[in-house]
Amino acid sequence: MARDPVEGGAFVFDLVDDGTAGPEAQLTRTGADGGEDPDGDELGSGEPPTSGGPGGKLRTIAPVAALLAVALGTGLAVDGVRDDARMERMRDVRGGVADVSSPLKETWKWEGLVGSREAIDEGRRNEVAVLGDMLVFRSEGELIALNPATGDEAWTVPLGEDPDCGPFGAAGWENVATSALVCLQGAGADREVTVVGPGGVVRAPRALDSADTRKFGEPRSGPGGTVLRAKRDGSAVDVGDAVCNDMGECTGTVEAGQGLVLRAEDAVTGEERWSVTVPFRSTRADQCNNWLGTSWDGSDNWVDFEQMLDPGAFGARIAADLVQLYGCGIEAAVTADGVPLGTTIEPGMGGVTSLAGGGFTESTFEGTAGTVLYAADGDRVGEIAGHALEPGVTDGSGPATFLVASGPRLRAYETDTTLRWEVVQTPAADTQLFLAQVDGTAVVMTGSGTVHGLDVATGDERWVWDSSADADGTHLEDLYVSRTFTDGQSVLLLTENGSGRAGLVSLDVDSGEVVWEQHAQEAVTDATAQEFDKSLIAVDGNLLEVTPAGVRGLG
């Protein structure tokens, strides 16, 4: 055992030989008198704590080595435990990766169609979901779940005719974590809904009542295990002086029209969970075009050149936590629990987005910009002057923060909208992106391409990285950071240059030093030089590249 050192001295250990040779020597516990511990158990008998050949002895030596490392001040064991804990914690962080300490290589590859052909044809690429710890997507008539660590197919679920599953989102750009996937399938009177949960467990299908469709509108897959229906309702339409020519140019204002009723029903039972009415608001005619993609159910995705003005057009973008509604006189969002947000924003002059840390922001761009913050339950928290920036990724440490930039001035706010600090960045720089908040450092990027590390508590500058030149002295033209990831020690930046090519830069969060860089022309496979796609997503601590043609693991 270790004897307490005198002041300024060192720890001393009693090593007791159990009769084995050098490297396999065991460390045994002894009491104060060398015979029994304070509980009366006999110790020091020479019996090893584990038995069974060299393997058992090696398992005993390992904790001894760890104990010696701690006691002798090397800290290796403590660092190892801390690293394991940090990596495990990153699995639960949106944008968290277990380890980005070295350049990435391809670890596995799955080839096949990712997403529905219809979505890809409409420009909605790389639509996926994270269900449990698996990456899930549609592919050629079935749902496929990939293990993010190995690329193995964990499970598959076959789909019927004309399937519509969701909520899905663009990999790396939206919140795609969901508790369940809802799939509509079949045609006409045979249309039904099924719910797919973690592990690929499928709930028994339920037939969709055509009477409900006539009453509440066409069904779509909704968040939280729901089926959504929407239908125009209300007063007659007054197009006022609004007019559109056959080139799609519209002028004037649609003065009055029908509101929109959005209904969520339990996908399994069909019972109504909530219903929300979004009122019609007087709208500029250019918000009432009959444009591609404005149809609620996707059945009329074509442009009628003889009637470009369509006061009844509406559609939605359905995510795991927010339903964003748009159309003539309609622009609002509804949370997964049925709370309407953004109903006072003039269509086309703002919008609602979900926050990675939970909650929502409502931003307006007309006149003086402002941001309203909402809690996860939809309750209004407060308002911040200016466009509030949320970090692209956070490791969960330190106080949650929003940043607002106004020229060289940068302000930091608490999540209750209390001002924490205001600084003037020198030399004058206009912060445009809040890249990350990791280990007490706020990482921001300016319009000139410099990346700054700021103390998140005070705003004091800790370091600056000039992205105009990398470690090799190669000029990075018009560098822009589109996505960020972190392992809790480094911040991984997915960059794009002036020609649109992607690259990766890993910065040490404490010093701002470049840990490694990988340019678009460099290899990220063992054999082939290949540019990686911009759609990167972290799933259970693993970094994945998603394209319409397949998925790759990078590590």
**Beta-carbon neighbour count of residue 356 at 10 Å?**
14
pLDDT of residue 283: 87
Pairing relation of β-strands 226-233 and 142-146?
unpaired
Please tell me what DSSP assigns to residue 66: H
Structural contact between residues 178 and 226, judged by C-beta atoms closer than 8 angstroms: no
Which candidate, 313, 295, 345, 315, places its Cα nearest to that of 239? 313
Query: What is 71-106 written as a DSSP string?
Result: HTT--HHHHHHHHHHHHHHHTTSTTBBS--SS---E
Instruction: pLDDT tens for the chain, 555 residues: list them.
Output: 443 334 444 333 333 344 433 333 332 333 333 333 333 333 333 333 333 333 333 333 334 434 334 444 554 455 566 677 877 888 888 889 999 989 999 999 999 999 888 877 777 788 999 999 999 999 999 999 999 999 999 999 999 999 999 999 988 888 899 999 999 999 888 899 999 999 999 998 999 999 999 999 999 999 999 999 999 988 788 888 988 877 778 889 988 889 999 999 999 999 999 999 999 888 888 888 766 556 786 655 555 555 678 888 888 999 999 999 988 888 899 999 999 998 888 777 788 999 988 899 999 877 778 899 999 999 999 999 999 999 999 998 778 899 999 878 899 999 999 999 999 877 667 788 999 999 999 999 988 788 999 999 999 999 999 876 554 544 455 677 888 999 999 999 998 776 667 788 999 999 999 999 887 544 444 433 345 567 899 999 999 999 999 999 998
Report whether the peptide linkage leading into residue 23 is cis, meaning its omega lies within 30 degrees of zero. Answer: no
Q: How far, in Å, CA of 341 to CA of 364, rounded?
A: 13
For 247, residues 6+ apart whose C-beta sits below 8 A from its C-beta are none
pLDDT of residue 312: 84
Structural contact between residues 220 and 228, judged by C-beta atoms closer than 8 angstroms: yes
pLDDT of residue 89: 80
Secondary structure in 3-state letters for 510-523: CCCCEEEEECCCCE
Which candidate, 364, 365, 452, places its Cα nearest to that of 408? 452
Q: How far, in Å, CA of 442 to CA of 76, rounded?
A: 29
Which helix (H) or strand (E) segment is 61 a member of?
A: helix 53-71
Query: What is 493-543 written as a DSSP string?
Result: EEEE-TT--EEEEEEETTT--EEEEE-TTSB-SSS-B-PPPS-EEEETBEE
pLDDT of residue 109: 96
End-to-end CA distance of the chain: 42
3-state secondary structure at position 201: coil
pLDDT of residue 288: 82
* Burial class of residue 290 (count of CB atoms within 10 Å of its CB; 0-12, 13-18, 19+): buried
pLDDT of residue 19: 41
